Amino acid sequence: MNHWIHDYETLINCFVAVFQHYKEDDDIRVFAIHELRDDRQALFDFLLNNSYHSEWHISFNGIAFDSQITQYIILNSNTLLQCSVSEAAHLIYKKAQETIDLANSNSFPKHPEKNLLVKQIDLFKLNHWDNPAKSSSLKWIQYSMDWYNIQEMPIHHSTPIETQDQLDTVIQYCINDVKSTNNIFLQSKNQIALRLNLTKDYSTYGINLNSASEPRISKELFSLFLAKKIGMTKYDLKQLRTHRDFINVDSILLPYIKFNLPEFKQIHNQFKTLVINANDTKGGFKYSVKHKGVTTDFGLGGIHGATKPGVYEAGNGMIIMTSDVTSFYPNLAIKNRWAPAHLPKNDFCDQYEWFFQERLKIPKKDPRNYVYKIILNSTYGLSNDVNSFLYDPEFTMRITINGQLSLVMLYEMLSEGIPGSIPLMQNTDGLEMMIPAHMKTKYLEICAEWEKITALQLEHDEYKKMVIADVNNYIAMLNSKECSKLDYEKIRQENPHYAFTEKAGRYFYNATKCKGRFEFSNLALHKNKSFLVVPKGIYNYFIHNMLPEETVAQNKNIFDYCAGAKAKGDWMFKEVCYVQGDKYERNLQKIVRYYVSNKGCKIHKMNKVDGREIQVQAGKWLLTEFNYYQKLPWINYDINTSYYTDAMYKEINNITGYSPVQQLNLF
């Protein structure tokens, strides 16, 4: 079967289409409609063949754009063949601009996905990069993937193409986008297979999940199961909502929540008197409690608290316990029989619990396990989404407010019940605490008592070390675990940054968890991975006892030294250089990849309306723009190593409060 990764470029007098076979990298088809090259008939035949043989188009934002152009070309092929090649290119350009205008006005595409003549897999939608919180263009994802060429189209779409060189430039640009889209496709293959199988399994219900984001999978499948259970149509179910003006928190608090200490009684009372504006639940409440020197912040979404920055290690009779509530938010709703007010409580709760129980029966490697996990975790978020049939902000607040108070109740029980305990962190669904080693049994007994009160379940583990900057930024190393040689080699290959040891033919590893600005492995592509060498150096220092200079000396991956920056709206980038006292400026594209170098320029972010300018990298540092990768002898990159080691030392000093050299001398 043939399927095609593809991309279109539409200019005022030129249309270019590039297709790459989804399995054969060398099978690339290029079509152009321009006075210098007229591939109209070949393109029409190719698209009709795709449609006739049920071949798929795989694209980035294809449902909203490329598929609409494909549909237009197929439906109007006779008209496009009968007019001149220039007119044909211009007609496609006009359709492209109309399609873009529709998208910019948040209108639905002219041709719904179900009516498209060529089936689509849209990697943009599948990865939920159309969500404001994850908003990402193809250029940004290229940056995140360390793609060699993230240069934007050098010719504006309104500029007529007049020479062969210009046409070749457009074609090569389009080929680059197709190849990078193929790379996203390869990274998304498991997710695509899951969605294709789900669509096949539920085809009799007319559900198309081929390009569905995780929240959409949850909405579609939950609504399907629930509609059948309730005995109404899926369409009617999806019209339901519960709209509220206010939420009286006292009426939704769980009766088992009780506190002994005055600081926790106070936060309980604060919630009892709270009335929430149901139409604005973000940032509507803030309160802080200090206990044993640790400040815990409360809101409407969850709790966050951490001890002062530092390195906390098990030893000298102390251990570090970490305890998380199993499927915390879903189980709060399941165990307490909560449901959005517009849905029959028993039907909703029974169905929600069914997903949880079914997931327990299915091995983690089974794709269905992942599907049920999506449904369980997304339901809470969808209950606060006015576009969802699950919308009821009171249901959301029941979960988040009772969740944080229940967790703080555990925090108090452990803190009071374990003499010598040292709280380290509390965060949404779990906590970390240092306790005397001989009190571990008591710790677990208190947790079991809490489980009995709440009907929830805790999962426990032990950390060997925690490196804490704050509640959102930390490194945690688990205790050593023994494994077989085969598993040892597999784990080492998949996680080379873990700590590994071999003793007398036995194999051990310490898994680690990095959060916030200390993350550097398996980052989601929408996240900013700027200066990845810095968190790697910090990690190496605390986990492998390496000085920052050693990390920089060993790391020869130029992309780890790069940063990415975006300019949106009225903002633009410009490069400012000084050569023998003369100032030179050059406008840059909307997304810029750069690194800090010994010689180079400044990069400014400038507002085109009011003229404001901000240095991308403030201070003395010079930058080298690196949107196009060039393989050079390492010394020729001219990296300013001081910038990177300084950044590592600054973070290390913030945590330890003293020089890393002094610290390493203690090991």
User: Is the predicted pLDDT of residue 507 greater than 60, yes or no?
Assistant: yes
Task: State residue 106's pLDDT score.
Answer: 87
Q: Do 417 and 442 meet the contact criterion of CB atoms below 8 Å apart?
A: yes
Q: Do 222 and 390 meet the contact criterion of CB atoms below 8 Å apart?
A: yes
Q: Do 358 and 372 meet the contact criterion of CB atoms below 8 Å apart?
A: yes
Task: State residue 394's pLDDT score.
Answer: 95
What are residue 608's phi and psi, to 5 degrees? -70, -15
DSSP states along 57-89: EEESSIIIIIHHHHHHHHHTHHHHHHS-HHHHH
The C-alpha atoms of residue 215 and residue 218 are separated, in whole angstroms, by: 5
Q: What is the CA radius of gyration of the chain?
A: 28
pLDDT tens digits, 334-380: 999 999 999 999 999 999 999 999 998 888 888 888 889 989 988 88
Q: Do 432 and 306 meet the contact criterion of CB atoms below 8 Å apart?
A: no
pLDDT tens digits, 112-142: 999 999 999 999 999 999 998 899 999 999 9
Please, which residues have CB within 8 angstroms of residue 361's CB and are 6 or more apart in sequence? none
DSSP 8-state assignment for residue 149: B
CATH 3.30.420 in the chain, residue ranges: 4-205
User: Is the predicted pLDDT of residue 663 greater than 60, yes or no?
Assistant: no
Task: State residue 661's pLDDT score.
Answer: 54
Beta bridge mates, 583:
578
The C-alpha atoms of residue 460 and residue 322 are separated, in whole angstroms, by: 6
pLDDT band at 664 (very low <50, low <70, confident <90, very high): very low
User: Is the predicted pLDDT of residue 631 greater than 60, yes or no?
Assistant: yes
pLDDT band at 657 (very low <50, low <70, confident <90, very high): confident
The C-alpha atoms of residue 472 and residue 515 are separated, in whole angstroms, by: 6
Q: What is the chain's percent helix, strand, coil content, to nearest 5?
A: 45, 25, 35
The C-alpha atoms of residue 551 and residue 120 are separated, in whole angstroms, by: 44
DSSP states along 504-550: TTEEEEE-EEEEGGG--SS--TTS--TTTHHHHHHHHHHHH---HHH
CATH code 3.30.420 for 4-205: yes
pLDDT tens digits, 495-504: 888 989 888 8
Task: State residue 338's pLDDT score.
Answer: 96
What are residue 164's phi and psi, to 5 degrees? -65, -35
pLDDT tens digits, 17-73: 999 999 999 999 999 999 999 999 999 999 999 999 999 999 999 999 999 999 999
The residue with tokens 């060993």 is 554
pLDDT band at 667 (very low <50, low <70, confident <90, very high): very low
pLDDT tens digits, 145-163: 999 999 999 999 999 999 9
The C-alpha atoms of residue 320 and residue 511 are separated, in whole angstroms, by: 15
- Please state the rounded mean pLDDT for residues 169-194: 96
The C-alpha atoms of residue 80 and residue 42 are separated, in whole angstroms, by: 13
Q: Quick one: how far is CA 327 from the chain centroid?
A: 20
Mean per-residue pLDDT over the chain, rounded: 93
Return the number of other C-beta atoms located less than 10 Å from residue 322's C-beta.
19
User: According to the 3-state scheme, what is the secondary structure of 304-329?
Assistant: EEECCCEEEECECCEEEEEEEECCHH
The C-alpha atoms of residue 173 and residue 159 are separated, in whole angstroms, by: 15
Task: State residue 659's pLDDT score.
Answer: 59
DSSP states along 437-464: GGGHHHHHHHHHHHHHHH---EEEEEEE
The CA distances from residue 51 to 5, 20, 118, 549, 603, in Å, are 15, 16, 5, 57, 47
The C-alpha atoms of residue 312 and residue 465 are separated, in whole angstroms, by: 6
User: Is the predicted pLDDT of residue 74 greater than 80, yes or no?
Assistant: yes
With vertex at residue 410, the alpha carbon angle to CA 409 and CA 416, rounded to the nearest 5 degrees, is 90
- Please state the rounded mean pLDDT for residues 194-201: 92
- Please state the rounded mean pLDDT for residues 386-399: 94
SS3 label, residue 53: coil
Task: State residue 660's pLDDT score.
Answer: 60
Cα-Cα-Cα-Cα dihedral sign, residues 393, 398, 404, 405: positive
Q: Quick one: how far is CA 486 from the chain centroid?
A: 31
Beta bridge mates, 345:
none
- Please state the rounded mean pLDDT for residues 492-518: 91
Provide the token pair at 556: 């020869």
Task: State residue 579's pLDDT score.
Answer: 85
pLDDT tens digits, 219-277: 999 999 999 999 999 999 999 999 999 999 999 999 999 999 999 999 999 999 999 99
Provide the token pair at 607: 């507002």
Strands (E), 292-408: 294-298, 304-306, 310-313, 318-325
Task: State residue 203's pLDDT score.
Answer: 85
Please, which residues have CB within 8 angstroms of residue 624's CB and are 6 or more apart in sequence? 594, 595, 596, 597, 600, 601, 637, 638
pLDDT tens digits, 291-341: 998 999 999 888 999 999 999 999 999 999 999 999 999 999 999 999 999
Q: Which amino acid is it at 639?
A: I
- Please state the rounded mean pLDDT for residues 578-595: 92
User: Is the predicted pLDDT of residue 666 greater than 50, yes or no?
Assistant: no
The C-alpha atoms of residue 77 and residue 72 are separated, in whole angstroms, by: 8
What is the number of helices (H) and of strands (E) in the chain?
21, 28
Show contacts of 133-140: CB within 8 Å, 24+ apart. 134/524, 134/526, 135/526, 136/525, 136/526, 137/591, 138/60, 138/61, 138/177, 138/180, 138/181, 139/589, 139/590, 139/591, 140/526, 140/564, 140/566, 140/591
Q: Do 326 and 458 meet the contact criterion of CB atoms below 8 Å apart?
A: yes
Return the number of other C-beta atoms located less than 10 Å from residue 594's C-beta.
24
Scored b (16 or more CB within 10 A) or e, 110-140 reads ebebeebbbbbbbbbbbbbbbeeeeebbbbb
Provide the token pair at 112: 């719904």
